[in-house]
């Protein structure tokens, strides 16, 4: 494959910044759970606060992605993660709904800006699929650390420590970007031609699939405790989830890059996700619920690795993959608040039925993309 070579340092910067920007992918259940248990918010309020973070990321990504090739990406990434760090550190000093909501929105705007720069650079690399898979492995490692440590830290130090940890992660990403981020070269192919129909259908498919992911995954911890599963068992599932994310989806996606068609993977992924969602939201036996919950996020990571490589191939300008935060987080933004509303008013079993319907929509978009 042709494309930019970033070297070890440049690649490390992209991977670290990707992990920080995709924090919601691994931290959602602890994030929502802490807002409910430590700050006293209702599930709907907690979902709403996290939704504001995600909507901020969407808005920023939608604004900067089309302008990707006119921006100093290193500067924008460094500034974005720095502002996100300050926002989260400020959030650790607050406990009111309005204050936390505003700071989450600001953090989201900042993260969306930085992450768009990172994904745009990844899309212009020599092998976007492999680089995204490598970043996915790193997310898995971060997940093991965070999902193992955060619940214990929350017990020991209370709610504010959640935002102090988030702020620290963003600060590390800011420093790494400032030191090692390499601005991609801009060639003539990086024009502003309209994106094709296949690109748009793929974008919609990813967004809808991510909505499903967030709607269910945000409440994994809450559902587990509601079902009467032991607290240490639910915590064990979260730790196992981090281990699974580290060792299964991204390495498998890298291994299968040349062996399985990306177009086929993105069609099958949402169907598997729906089956898992039904089990996670309805199972009352811990030995059935636990392994499915532990593998739930892996479906999204595996499928999206193929989708990222597919988009990079369909759009060499890098603009489509630079909009990855928008396409992921518009779904993720609506997921927690819709999931909270459904769970609060109809019971969390309703999330499984909703997940099946949403999965069908996602499959339709990916199928349309294949024939476009």
Asked whether residue 83 carries a pLDDT value surpassing 60, the answer given is: yes
More confident residue, 239 or 359: 359
Cα angle 261, 362, 326; round to 5: 95
Region of 191 (left: φ > 0; alpha: ψ -120 to 50; beta: rest) is beta
Cβ–Cβ under 8 Å, residues 369 and 205: yes
Give residue-wise pLDDT tens across range 213-226.
Answer: 889 988 888 899 88
Confidence of residue 203 (pLDDT cuts 50, 70, 90): very high
* Average pLDDT value for residue range 86-110: 97
Confidence of residue 188 (pLDDT cuts 50, 70, 90): very low
* Average pLDDT value for residue range 198-202: 92
pLDDT at residue 191, as a whole number: 54
pLDDT at residue 1, as a whole number: 46
Task: Please spell the DSSP secondary structure of 252-263, one letter per residue.
Answer: HHHHTTTTS-HH
| Beta strand residue intervals within 181-319, DSSP E | none
Q: Which of 85, 107, 92, 100 has the alpha carbon at shortest distance from 158? A: 92
Give residue-wise pLDDT tens across range 236-265.
Answer: 898 788 788 888 999 999 999 999 999 999
Domain segments of the chain: what residues?
Answer: 8-183+195-371
d(CA 49, CA 337): 9
Cβ–Cβ under 8 Å, residues 68 and 124: no
pLDDT at residue 349, as a whole number: 86
pTM score: 0.87
Asked whether residue 190 carries a pLDDT value surpassing 90, the answer given is: no
Give residue-wise pLDDT tens across range 9-33.
Answer: 999 999 999 999 998 877 877 898 8
Structure tokens at 181: 């981020």
Domain topology for 8-183+195-371: Growth Hormone; Chain: A; (1.20.1250)
d(CA 65, CA 70): 10
Cβ–Cβ under 8 Å, residues 68 and 318: yes
Helices 262-282 and 197-217, packing angle to 10 deg:
20
Cβ–Cβ under 8 Å, residues 257 and 130: yes
């Amino acid at each position: 494959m042709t494309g930019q070579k970033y070297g070890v340092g440049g690649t490390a910067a992209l991977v670290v910044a990707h992990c920080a920007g995709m924090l919601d992918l691994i931290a959602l259940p602890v994030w929502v759970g802490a807002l409910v248990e430590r700050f006293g918010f209702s599930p709907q309020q907690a979902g709403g606060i996290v939704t504001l973070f995600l909507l901020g990321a969407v808005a920023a990504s939608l604004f900067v992605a089309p302008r990707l090739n006119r921006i100093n990406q290193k500067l924008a990434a460094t500034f974005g993660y720095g502002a996100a760090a300050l926002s989260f550190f400020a959030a650790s000093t607050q406990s009111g709904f309005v204050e936390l909501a505003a700071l989450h929105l600001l953090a989201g705007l900042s993260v969306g800006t930085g992450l768009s720069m990172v994904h745009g650079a990844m899309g212009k690399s020599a092998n976007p699929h492999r680089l995204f898979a490598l970043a996915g492995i790193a997310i898995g490692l971060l997940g093991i650390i965070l999902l193992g440590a955060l619940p214990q830290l929350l017990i020991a130090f209370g709610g504010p420590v959640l935002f102090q940890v988030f702020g620290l992660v963003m600060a590390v990403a800011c420093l790494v970007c400032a030191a090692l981020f390499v601005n991609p070269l801009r060639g003539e192919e990086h024009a502003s031609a309209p994106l094709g129909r296949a690109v748009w259908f793929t974008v919609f498919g990813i967004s809808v699939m991510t909505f499903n992911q967030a709607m269910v995954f945000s409440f994994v911890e809450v559902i587990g405790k509601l079902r009467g599963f032991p607290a240490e068992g639910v915590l064990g599932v979260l730790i196992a989830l981090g281990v699974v994310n580290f060792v299964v989806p991204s390495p498998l996606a890298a291994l299968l890059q040349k062996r399985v068609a990306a177009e086929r993977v993105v069609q099958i992924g949402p169907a598997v996700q729906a089956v898992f969602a039904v089990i996670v939201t309805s199972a009352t036996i811990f030995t059935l619920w636990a392994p499915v919950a532990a593998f739930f996020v892996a479906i999204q990571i595996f499928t999206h690795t193929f989708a990222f490589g597919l988009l990079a191939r369909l759009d060499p300008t890098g603009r489509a993959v630079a909009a990855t935060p928008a396409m992921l987080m518009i779904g993720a933004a609506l997921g927690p608040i819709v999931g909270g509303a459904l769970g609060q008013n109809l019971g969390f079993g309703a999330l499984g039925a909703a997940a099946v319907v949403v999965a069908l929509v996602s499959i339709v978009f990916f199928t349309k993309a294949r024939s476009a």
